[in-house]
Structure 1
């Protein structure tokens, strides 16, 4: 599927003749990703994977995100669906499974602004796939050329340029199963002017795409959080009909008794299910998965323009512009009432106050319990049949706004880019210079299902809202009056303004060839503004988890770099590159970094090329990581229990502040607190690679590369799995509050006590800050092979193979032994040992076809020992996932091409997984596609 171009001086894949045999020919010098020196691509020393326009079409990808996910060397980057209910839904790339922040994404060789919301790098959604001419992926560190972030590699999206004519393409993608995930896409390209004849060229592109939502309820492998086949039940105890804390008329006290547990929690309209595994005898849970999207509704449109003026034979003026709009609406679980300071008991005077509450069969009554006949139990007794009791006094329970429907966010983002530059040759020097302005901005609006504490709390206190069953017309109208629908919650803008200039040339002729050099510099200003509107800033959103303060600041970055390519002897060349960067932050801190790199290319025979490199790189802390104020607006991704007040999921007996009285504390998404640090250090990397490319037979190229990366002081948010799996070690991460104190008093909810283990104090939040930790490491092998030949009577047959073997992968926190996550799902997601893509192609005359196999190896599933039933094995494997994709095309005329295809030909469902990092449950969305078999058709017509 992918053509691997060995910019290491190897053979150009799929060429009719070996590129090694072309050395004697005079080839045009071109720009190559990863180098500052213009050169012939077969002369450089870095491994690179290239997607051509034709290869992109064969993948059936509709977005850049789809395309990047198919890369074997990309291990589970950010996917839109993963971000349901998070900050804006950015899509990101993740080379080497090191994390999206270590992969630098370029557009036409230059940086783009980061995604405006959260702490995300470039959003792949902002790049229009229909305007992409090719993609070059450098599978090596490149900080010596580009500076920060290029640790795992570089992905350079190169748009169409110097186009003459006009063409339009229309594609429709239809899922075989009902539910959604259908895509409609239109692209238009037009250009006029010939650089040679007219001395100018103007090109325009436009595209529009829409995606229909796919709900979890419409896929059997993801439609419930209750998975006895996996030994887990991830339903939440915060319900539309809550688990109740109350006292009956005989003086008996009850905690967490659900009034519908007696009938098996049978209330589909509330999404109720049994809770816990095995099922708790008195509680119910909310099967929140029934409300969420696997794929959110999306709409995007893009317009780009490029103008070139040919000043003379050697020099050009260039202007590029791009405008992209993206809108998505994502649904997730109804809002739980999570702020314990705002939880109000249901009053006796409420018009929905229950006359009786049914205790379910199987519930255990404690010693001293007063029976209806007045006798007191002398031993704990299990109810043999349901029993109704009469409540008295206020009733407490942590309610979820199911009657208002699932929560939703509407995110609208806009990406703008303007470049004005010049390139050419002056006095024998190749130069390239430009001023680039790039901006990503957006707004997030409250969609249906989001409520205001300020508006809703009085209704609950008065008892005018029914928390025991369905709303009537009057209470539903009151409930709807507390909605936030349509109000803006946050606006954000990320801006980058950059000036760059570089020159290169061959400065002298040596015995083995010309010595070439390049030097350059750049200056960049970065700005980030994340402005919370009043509801978000005050923490008034029900289930939002607290106040979200505004973040605003900027920085200036200065960089100088150089590169020299030295032909040491015949068939041996050395490339040396280095870059110095200086960061000056508006908030008073600064730092600098020096990034050197050396690479070698050796060609002992015409059919063998050996290459290697050693380098240092870095990643600068983002403005968000530096400046984010303390916020308690997050929740753990998985369900956990308070280790002090509900150890192992079993609530302690506490008469002062009963467990569950103010907030849910057992098997629930716990509140987290996060903050940045203006004194974070830049991350540093050391890496090396060694590879060989050879041509065993005519028309075939094969290659293998070993790579090794070690990152010191990586900046990460402390992992919930790490902290909660060993709470005794991480006591200082837990903040507790004394309910007897005022919210703003020392020890109160807003000023909680760090490290307290007092069993009377509920948990305010778990502190998971950004910090420099000790080390991240990874190593592996990349394999590639290409073959293409003409066969008499058959046509042209081709074969492409791309494989990635992960050999080591892990991390180490300060003061803790290394943790290997190779072949496992741990703190930061899954790291399969092996991924590959194999494509066979055929063409003859007007016909062409392809068949592709995409494969991800099995890995050890994520396991939380407190959440898995004892009779189930803790260790289980997530099965391998593979798909077959097929295309068939016909070009009846030079102007018209028709393509039909099938993605996931065998309709392979994602393998089951216990993972807890995403709202999606039952499978891992980072490596799989929930749509299933999908048919598509594409028409492309060129007018002139």
Structure 2
């Protein structure tokens, strides 16, 4: 996947990804740098080191240039290419959900809330719609030089949300001259085209002129893909959800059961088909999965400006970044869901009415939603030497604002109810007739802010027999706010899932003091000790230590180990999440009137799920342990393996809808009759401390540089992660459930993921053949096995005079389509869009010219 270099073992031992440490360190120590920067700070440590030193934590470093050559165009794609990442929340999650189009990272599959995302070593504000993590879309790929990934608990270094690891995006230090680039992706099938243009300009040489300023602008557009354009998204099976909200309309009688539609059995295939359920009810069922856009339309604009000034032994820099991501989704025409009633119904006495209407506004077309997320960050830094100590100080402000608009296909509930009362026919095929009751406009907005200041120093302070002892000390202060607001349109518009919502807001402050020491214990044995004290204004305080050691008995062998504890305070979103009542993703029997489907008027339909924050949450506490070995039997071969284990106590989360509705007796206290939709119930699933989560696994890597030949240089590389155990409790002191290799509680955990690559270079030419692989797993229902998913990318690059580079290639070379899945958690059906790309084979062309 990456163009790895051959290296000395002393360099290779610090990295799990087999990437040259010298290579990435030189990104900050080029001729364009100042003399004080020959020591660099490495992700996972506060101590600055010489570029020839290494550390003992499992780490992966990737150059984004190498991944861009595979046709990757977004930070989300880069993160998803990491074997250690198992994210279930990407851009496609916006289809049929109010996520603001966010995309998150999840190292070890622990969850986005346990992965700390940094930009140049400092925090970024969390996305406010699901405000427990950083939206990867906020980071423009075009200005990122490399990505450093610490696959180990780092709470003692960075604080609360580094339990699962750290992903640090490092921007380019400086730039000179004008650079223009472009990228075009053409899928073999309809939809999903991509266009990207970037331009940057830099002026000044840090080493010669003492200053540099550069700016960059990037524009990226991805076209949507519709279900009708992909067979795997429209394959009708026994698991395909048929909605009772149909066009032509169905009705409910006074007992709440579905009655025959006036047009049954002459429905409106292929979207509306005749249904006879297990209880003998006859009605029209809508195949809602045939309608939606299975991937959104995404338009992103980003700007970046950075200025750096050398002041003797000090360096002052200012950085401003702004990214706006416009995410537009298409889902099935609006279902009435029984939220409006008709005074009459086919075959029913008017005296028994009114009758809830389970119709669908098909004449208005798909529901179209638009979310715009705007993230800004201003950061001021001062670093250098002070009385012989390396220091780094900074102050920054970042904010994220997300708005959600209804574009088309939505209806005013009050206006439609008035029309039905006055004789409007819900089977009216006229778009103009339905259009009288349509509504558009913003229904919600959310905002989060982060103000942060920090100061730290480090120095080699004491000569020991085995080497110099180095130490670091630091302080940090943060203030966070979050708010989520809804307006009257959110309450009145049907089928937004926001009809019963309350606005919410919150704020808090946090302070931290931390220290770290590198101790050469004896020859070949080094130890690193770190400790951090965090105090939150709303969640108490905690002290968390970490110790890591490395032992290198010979130049060809190194052992490493680490142990740490962690503390994660509930996020502001966990505490202040607005209360929402939304339809469930799947269909269930009413657990009050029809427990387990037993009753006289039972039929499966979408029920309701009430979510919200909890001000009584307790902090999570964690412990982590790892042990690894790195071998270099010959200079061209490097192998490594790291065993790791993480335990999280008092895990914060919400019960998945399926867990609640499929265990009605156990969770009877969570159910209450719906006061809005007759015949349905509400299940309360607010944020809670669910219990413990225990995860363990193995990371492996391999790199082999073949002997040089007239054909060029070849390097084979492998990064893989195996999850041996993923046990979780759904309630304190409750039963442990295994999620490894199976779909449970809303998503699967893949036992094995790997990235395999073959890199070739010869003069001005280079090429990459890379594979991303995910193992199969047991699906959501009936022990169905989802097949493994493997995609290969192939590309070739030519560089002319170090100014012009052209890359041409194929993404998903063998046209691997998503494996079939019977999950019903997401709006797209027939596969799981969170883990498989619906695009299929795509051809791309990328060019960049430096003037």
Q: TM-score range by the shorter chain?
A: over 0.9
1:836 aligned onto 2:836 = no
Q: Residue 10 of structure 1 contacts residue 608 of structure 1 at CA under 8 Å; is this kept in 2?
A: no
- 3-state SS of paired residue (1:669): strand
2:39 is aligned, of 29, 38, 49, to: 29
Distance 1:275 1:818, change over 3 A: farther
Distance 1:612 1:901 in 2: 40
Aligned residue number for residue 564 of structure 1: 517
Query: After superposition, what is the alpha-carbon deviation per residue over 1:95-151, rounded to whole angstroms, capped at 9, x for unaligned?
Result: 101111111111111000011213341111111111110001110011111101111
**How far is the alpha carbon of 1:629 from its aligned partner?**
4.7
2:448 is aligned, of 483, 490, 494, to: 494
Distance 2:304 2:355 in 1: 60
1:259 is aligned, of 259, 262, 284, to: 262
1:534 aligned onto 2:477 = no
Q: Residue 171 of structure 1 contacts residue 185 of structure 1 at CA under 8 Å; is this kept in 2?
A: yes
2:138 is aligned, of 108, 126, 131, to: 126
**How far is the alpha carbon of 1:330 from its aligned partner?**
0.8
- 3-state SS of paired residue (1:43): coil
1:479 aligned onto 2:434 = yes
Aligned residue number for residue 868 of structure 1: none
**How far is the alpha carbon of 1:346 from its aligned partner?**
4.0
Distance 1:934 1:18 in 2: 31
1:211 is aligned, of 195, 215, 222, to: 222
Distance 1:721 1:521 in 2: 44
Distance 1:711 1:12, change over 3 A: closer
Aligned residue number for residue 627 of structure 1: 576
**How far is the alpha carbon of 1:454 from its aligned partner?**
1.6
1:578 aligned onto 2:531 = yes
Unaligned ranges ≥5, structure 2: 25-34
Distance 1:897 1:392 in 2: 74
Aligned residue number for residue 869 of structure 1: none
Q: Residue 8 of structure 1 contacts residue 46 of structure 1 at CA under 8 Å; is this kept in 2?
A: no
Q: Residue 273 of structure 2 contacts residue 286 of structure 2 at CA under 8 Å; is this kept in 1?
A: yes
Distance 1:279 1:184 in 2: 52
Q: How does 1:292-311 map to 2 (within 5 A)?
A: 292-311=292-311
Distance 1:432 1:17 in 2: 22
Distance 1:781 1:581 in 2: 30
Aligned residue number for residue 32 of structure 2: none
Query: After superposition, what is the alpha-carbon deviation per residue over 1:872-916, rounded to whole angstroms, capped at 9, x for unaligned?
Result: xx2110001111110011123321111101011111111000112
Aligned residue number for residue 381 of structure 1: none
Aligned residue number for residue 108 of structure 1: 120
2:705 is aligned, of 788, 794, 809, to: 788
Distance 1:242 1:645, change over 3 A: farther
Q: Residue 202 of structure 1 contacts residue 308 of structure 1 at CA under 8 Å; is this kept in 2?
A: yes
Q: Residue 511 of structure 1 contacts residue 569 of structure 1 at CA under 8 Å; is this kept in 2?
A: yes
1:862 aligned onto 2:815 = no
Further displaced range: 287-296 or 415-424: 287-296
Distance 2:64 2:93 in 1: 28
Aligned residue number for residue 178 of structure 2: 166
- 3-state SS of paired residue (2:587): coil
Q: Residue 14 of structure 2 contacts residue 58 of structure 2 at CA under 8 Å; is this kept in 1?
A: no
Distance 1:567 1:281, change over 3 A: same
**How far is the alpha carbon of 1:9 from its aligned partner?**
3.5
Q: Which structure shows the bigger proportion of residues in strand conformation?
A: 2
Distance 1:18 1:399, change over 3 A: closer
Aligned residue number for residue 31 of structure 2: none
Further displaced range: 209-218 or 58-67: 58-67
Q: Residue 151 of structure 1 contacts residue 617 of structure 1 at CA under 8 Å; is this kept in 2?
A: yes
Q: Residue 87 of structure 2 contacts residue 104 of structure 2 at CA under 8 Å; is this kept in 1?
A: no
Distance 1:254 1:677 in 2: 35
**How far is the alpha carbon of 1:273 from its aligned partner?**
3.0
1:337 aligned onto 2:336 = yes
Distance 1:516 1:462 in 2: 81
Distance 1:890 1:394, change over 3 A: same
Q: Residue 16 of structure 2 contacts residue 58 of structure 2 at CA under 8 Å; is this kept in 1?
A: no
Aligned residue number for residue 890 of structure 1: 798
**How far is the alpha carbon of 1:635 from its aligned partner?**
2.0
CA RMSD between the two structures: 2.7
Q: Residue 706 of structure 2 contacts residue 715 of structure 2 at CA under 8 Å; is this kept in 1?
A: yes
Distance 1:668 1:701, change over 3 A: same
Provide TM-score, normalisation by structure 1: 0.84
**How far is the alpha carbon of 1:13 from its aligned partner?**
3.5
Distance 2:592 2:167 in 1: 47
- 3-state SS of paired residue (1:240): coil
2:195 is aligned, of 178, 181, 184, to: 184
1:84 aligned onto 2:81 = no
Distance 1:104 1:561 in 2: 17
Unaligned ranges ≥5, structure 1: 20-25, 349-353, 358-388, 654-658, 660-664, 738-748, 753-760, 864-873
Aligned residue number for residue 826 of structure 1: 744
Q: How does 1:12-27 map to 2 (within 5 A)?
A: 13=18
Distance 1:523 1:725 in 2: 45
1:765 is aligned, of 682, 686, 696, to: 682
Q: Residue 12 of structure 2 contacts residue 21 of structure 2 at CA under 8 Å; is this kept in 1?
A: no
Aligned residue number for residue 506 of structure 1: 460
Provide TM-score, normalisation by structure 2: 0.93
**Between Structure 1 and Structure 2, whose CA radius of gyration is higher?**
1
**How far is the alpha carbon of 1:647 from its aligned partner?**
4.0
**How far is the alpha carbon of 1:855 from its aligned partner?**
1.0
Distance 1:244 1:547, change over 3 A: closer
Distance 2:478 2:502 in 1: 27
Aligned residue number for residue 28 of structure 2: none
